[in-house]
Amino acid sequence: MNCLKVLKKSVIDSQLYVSLMGTVFAVFFMFEQNTFRFPSTLLIFITYFSGYLYTKYQNTKYFYKILLLNIVTGIISAALIIFNHNEIRLVKWFVIVVLGLLYNSFFLETYIRKIPLLKVFYVGLVWALVNSWLTLPEFNFPIFFISFFFVTALVLPFDIRDMKSDTVQTFPKFIGVQNTKYIAYIFVFIACILAVFHLKIQFAASFFSASVFTYILVYFSKNSNRDSYFSFWVESCSGLPFLFLIIYLYLKF
């Protein structure tokens, strides 16, 4: 049990896991578009990791440590872009960082997380921009909407988890848990249909398989579930497309 607590604190509470899943989700699309590069992968992971750490710990005693870490990771990220990409990629990255700050920053009087019902769509927007814009030479609309609907659907179970503690209006509090699940089902279905029509066959099959597991996890989402159900299992859904891709490619050969 102590090992599980240590694992939770070092991997999940540290925001390492969600950052890894976001990065793997982006890698899935980079492989589909034949644009995979290690510096881009490292850039995405650093951006997610520093951003999620800042969001979670900005109002704690760790603020100055997190601020210092963000400055260091910002310099590393800029260096990665300058030495491996171009100034356009730097502008894209900066826009995404600003969008992240607008989501939840204590120094803003009103930030996105305070706006009723908007949080889930905003998270979907930022992740979608990473996958369809940051890593690609041109904006890819199919990948944007696949990512947007899928990630938005994954955020809804977290609103179910937090519905008793959230001070802002969320979908479960506004329309109920079951109707929130219906919205998640619809969003996953839309993402899956778009993937089938716009992704290469093995990538579409991988995304479809991941969507099946996502449906199951959304179905069993309850406010009474342990936090690990959401912070590990639901969070893992964004990494499933790449996992299934590896499995299919292995079976093929």
145 & 242 share domain: yes
DSSP structural state of residue 238: G
Residue 35 has pLDDT above 90, yes or no: yes
Give the chain's mean pLDDT: 90
In angstroms, rounded to a whole number, what is the distance separating the alpha carbons of residues 32 and 35? Answer: 8
Domain that holds residue 52: 17-23+37-114
Residue 10, in any domain of the structure: no
Residue 98, in any domain of the structure: yes
Residue 45, in any domain of the structure: yes
User: Residue 32: its pLDDT value, please?
Assistant: 96
134 & 237 share domain: yes
Dihedral of CA 154/158/159/161: which sign?
Answer: positive
CA atoms within 13 A on the CB side of 165: 7
The residue out of 60, 85, 114 marking a domain boundary is 114
151 & 215 share domain: yes
Tell me if 142 sits within 8 A of 174, measured CB to CB. no
The residue out of 83, 114, 145 marking a domain boundary is 114
230 & 157 share domain: yes
Residue 119, in any domain of the structure: no
160 & 244 share domain: yes
Residue 9, in any domain of the structure: no
User: Residue 9: its pLDDT value, please?
Assistant: 62
Report pLDDT digits (tens) over 177-201.
Answer: 999 999 999 999 999 999 999 999 9
In angstroms, rounded to a whole number, what is the distance separating the alpha carbons of residues 64 and 72? Answer: 12
Q: What mean pLDDT comes out for the span 97-113?
A: 84
Strand, helix or coil at 116?
A: coil
Residue 44, in any domain of the structure: yes
49 & 106 share domain: yes
User: Residue 166: its pLDDT value, please?
Assistant: 82
User: Residue 57: its pLDDT value, please?
Assistant: 83
194: tokens are 């778009």
Instruction: Categorize the per-residue pLDDT at 11 as very low, low, confident or very high, splitting at 50, 70 and 90.
Output: confident
The residue out of 64, 87, 114 marking a domain boundary is 114
Answer with the residue of higher pLDDT: 10 or 130: 130
194 & 236 share domain: yes
Instruction: Categorize the per-residue pLDDT at 253 as very low, low, confident or very high, splitting at 50, 70 and 90.
Output: low
109 & 161 share domain: no
Q: How many structural domains does the chain have? A: 2
Residue 229 has pLDDT above 60, yes or no: yes
Look at the pTM and tell me if it is higher than 0.75.
yes
Query: Counting every residue, how long is the chain?
Result: 253
Instruction: Categorize the per-residue pLDDT at 115 as very low, low, confident or very high, splitting at 50, 70 and 90.
Output: confident
Say how far residue 234 (Cα) sits from the centre of its chain: 11
